[in-house]
Structures are given as structure tokens and as C-alpha cells.
Homo-oligomer: A and B are copies of this chain.
Amino acid sequence: MSKANAVYAQSGGVTSVINGSAYGVIKAAQESGIIDNIYGGLYGINGVLEEKLVDIAQEDPADIERLPYTPSGAFGSCRKKLPSLEKNRADFERIIEVFKAHDVRYFFYNGGNDSMDTAYKISQLSHDMGYEVTCIGVPKTVDNDLPVTDNCPGFGSVAKYNAVSIREATFDVASMHKDSTKVFVSETMGRHAGWIAASAAMAARNEEEGPHIILLPEIPFQEEAFLAEVEKIRAKLGFCVVSVSEGLQNPDGKFVADAGTVDMFGHTQLGGAGDFIANLVKNKLSIKVHNALPDYFQRSGRHIASKTDVEQAIAVGREAVNLAAQGLNGQMVTIVRDSDTPYAWSVGHTDIANIANKEKVLPPEYIREDGFHITDAFRTYCRPLIEGELWPDYQDGIPVYTKLMRHLVAQKLS
């Protein structure tokens, strides 16, 4: 097989460990024997469309080594979703044109459902246009909602962030509830799938520890039953900690807190499920309530990332290059769980078509019968994913994170 160039790009909401996948792709590309130069798309697919390709070879190798310790997207990410081929053939043709101009025959796209859809279309069109580009998807999403793969890099760390934070807040409220805050609410990310809200359950070592109630997007919100549950827990412990998904919905299918704005993917932009629940408790039960909204802190909290998650992020990056070297195309790397206890995993792969635009929600066996908490089966699933710590270095009290120089390759097109 003759050598060609490769593009790696990051897409969608960034995570604590997506740069670990970048690291895996880069290292494997350099060792692969099939890839000459590896370029980074500046701000995801935008960088390809605008012919802004980062020349990774010019980066300081020490900065590359620090990527797995750095949150966010080192090459810049994007929210751009390309419309269907029929409606927007020009963009796809431009991508192939740029790839052709730079002798790019490999495209590694690191993202979630929407990104896999883009990768799938590029792979299809490149074939139709007679300039074959091998497209391999590298999974990434804190939402953990990709099908086929056992879990998604990014999730383990956001889960650990929420578990640790809720654990600390529970200790806080437990010590203050006597004559101060009685109910604490934290809103987690996770628009349509309750994986992140559920992961807060890992904060507890026993039933007395919070979160005591978990409000999932999979379970329509029942106000009266919820308030009764809060009162039941308060009667027992004196206080109550609630983890609520930003995507909590009323029985009519509307988000309890709908900000009304829409992002570029056509998703409703949310905010306020935590406020909604906090105000409800305050007004109906007349007690002191506090609420937290960790927002981006949770998805970029590399300082408390899971070691399992970092290792898997690197592994799926490496495997993407391996698959390409094996001549596979239109595949996404997956994580396969070989055993729960002791936890054992390996990498696999699946057709991107099995992933694109599909969402895996929390299955019923992970949700407690009354809908207000999770089951031991979920705990067994989630525990290994938050396991282990891999601290970044610190200097002057804050983590040392990498910023790449991002020198661009000379443009060849107009």
C-alpha cells in the first residue's frame, strides 16, 4: 500500500479526554507505515472546508505527549452538521477536493452521532467521486449515547466529575441541614439520555449518601410523586440531594425548562431544569434549597478525569489508524466489555451506518422501578468507567495544559 496523508478532526462538544484520542491517532499514524503526514482539521470539519489544516509535524513533541492530560479540543471543535448529500452536495465535494489537493486518503473523525453521520457521508461520496477516502470514526461523547459501543470516551470522566462533586456536596449539606439548606439540586448534562444524571449515583457508598433522587430524561416528570419522595427522604435523613438531567421532560414530552433557542444541529438549547426543580421544592415545601449547575466544568474537568476513560480514549484513537491500515473503511471504533469483575475491555469496530444519528438511552434495567433512581446493574456498569486517577502536572497551583501552535499547511486551493 502506498503512503498518503491523513486528516484528524474533532467535532461536537469537547470532553476531558478527546485530546487523548488525538494523541492515539497521532502516535499510531506516525508508527503506521501507511500515513505520510497527519494534519489536524482546525475547528473540525470547518478546517477541511476552509483548507485550514494544522501541520502536526511542526508541533513540539513534548506538547503532543501532554495531549492526554489536556481537556478541550486542542485542534478546535465544531458544531457544524452537514445537511444531506442531496441538499448540500457542494460542501461534500469541497471536502473531497481539499483532501485530493493535499493527498489525503485517510480521515479520522472524532465525535458523536452527528459526526459519525458526516464521516459516513464523506466515505460514501468519496467512493462515488472515484477518489477513495478511508473514513474511520473515533467515538467521543460525554452523553454516552452511541449504540454498539459499550461506552463512549468522555463519559467516564464526566461521570467521575459528577460523582465526586455530588459526594462532596452531600457531605456539605449533611453537615449544614440542621438550620440551613435542606435540599440540594445539581443539574447535569445529557439532553436525551440519562447516562450522566445517573452517573451521579456513583457518589454514594451506601443508601444514606446522596444523590437520593435522580431525575432522568427517560422518565416523564411527575411533580407530586417527586415532592412526596423528597419529603420521604427528608423525614429519614433531614436533607435530600437531587441529580436532575437538563433534558428532564414533562409527561407531554416538553422539556421542563425550555429556553426556546435552537443550536446549529436543530437541538433545543436547554438550561434551567435545575432551577426549575429547585424553585418547585422551595415554593411547594417552603424550605431552603440550593442548586448547582456545573455546565462546562463537568465535561472539561480533566483535573478529576477517570484513568480508565483516558486510557480508552487513547486506545480508540490508536485503533482507528489500525483499522485503516487493515484496509477497513466506514467503520467506527468501539469499546467492548469483556468482563465486569474484574473489569476487562478491548477495542472492536462497527459499520458507521450502525451509529450515525442513533441514540442509546438508559435501558429500563438500569432504572429503579419507581423511576427516581438507578439499579445495582447500572452501578456494576458504571463503576469501572470512573475508576483510577491520572493527575496532570501542576505549576503555581493550576494544571499544566497544552496549547498547540497550530501552524497551518500551505493552502493549495482558492
Partner of A292, one of B80, B179, B296, B306: B296
- Please give the distance in Å from A354's CB to the nearest CB on chain B: 27
Q: Is the CB of A399 within 8 A of B164?
A: yes
Partner of A43, one of B44, B179, B300: B179
Q: Does chain B have a CB within 8 A of A25? A: no
Q: In the complex, A46 Cα to B297 Cα: how many Å?
A: 36
Known contacts being A171-B72, A175-B73, A297-B294, is A398 close to B180, with CB within 8 Å?
no
Contact with B along A285-306 (1 / 0, CB 8 A): 0001011111111011111101
Q: Is the CB of B178 within 8 A of A76?
A: yes
Q: In the complex, A414 Cα to B383 Cα: how many Å?
A: 49
Q: A168 contacts which chain B residues (CB < 8 A)? A: 16, 71-72, 296-297, 300-303, 399, 401
Interface window among A54-62, A92-100, A384-392: A384-392
CB closest chain-B residue, reference A382: B397
Residues of A whose CB lies within 8 Å of any CB of B are 10, 13-14, 16, 43-44, 46, 70-80, 160, 163-165, 167-169, 171-176, 178-181, 184, 186, 202-203, 205, 263-264, 269, 271, 275, 288, 290-297, 299-304, 306, 383, 386-389, 391, 394, 396-399, 401
Partner of A175, one of B14, B16, B180: B14
Starting from the known contacts A72-B172, A304-B304, A388-B394, 17 additional A-B residue pairs (CB-CB under 8 Å) come to: A10-B175, A16-B168, A44-B178, A71-B172, A72-B176, A73-B176, A78-B179, A80-B179, A163-B397, A168-B301, A168-B399, A168-B401, A169-B296, A172-B300, A292-B293, A292-B294, A292-B295
Q: In the complex, A296 Cα to B289 Cα: how many Å?
A: 11
CB closest chain-B residue, reference A78: B179
Q: A175 contacts which chain B residues (CB < 8 A)? A: 10, 14, 43, 72-77
Q: In the complex, A179 Cα to B181 Cα: how many Å?
A: 39
Known contacts being A72-B168, A180-B263, A383-B396, is A290 close to B300, with CB within 8 Å?
no
Closest 6 A/B residue pairs (Cβ): A386-B397, A72-B171, A73-B175, A292-B295, A43-B178, A172-B300
- Please give the distance in Å from A43's CB to the nearest CB on chain B: 4
Q: In the complex, A355 Cα to B13 Cα: how many Å?
A: 47
Known contacts being A79-B179, A178-B76, is A386 close to B401, with CB within 8 Å?
no
Q: Is the CB of A397 within 8 A of B306?
A: yes
Q: Is the CB of A171 within 8 A of B301?
A: no
Q: Is the CB of B383 within 8 A of A387?
A: no
Q: Is the CB of B296 within 8 A of A13?
A: no
Q: A297 contacts which chain B residues (CB < 8 A)? A: 165, 168-169, 186, 292, 294, 297
Q: Is the CB of A389 within 8 A of B398?
A: no
CB closest chain-B residue, reference A163: B398
- Please give the distance in Å from A287's CB to the nearest CB on chain B: 11
Q: In the complex, A172 Cα to B73 Cα: how many Å?
A: 7
Q: Is the CB of A171 within 8 A of B387?
A: no
Q: In the complex, A269 Cα to B291 Cα: how many Å?
A: 13
Partner of A71, one of B171, B292, B300: B171
Q: Is the CB of B79 within 8 A of A176?
A: yes
CB closest chain-B residue, reference A208: B403
Q: A180 contacts which chain B residues (CB < 8 A)? A: 78-79, 263-264
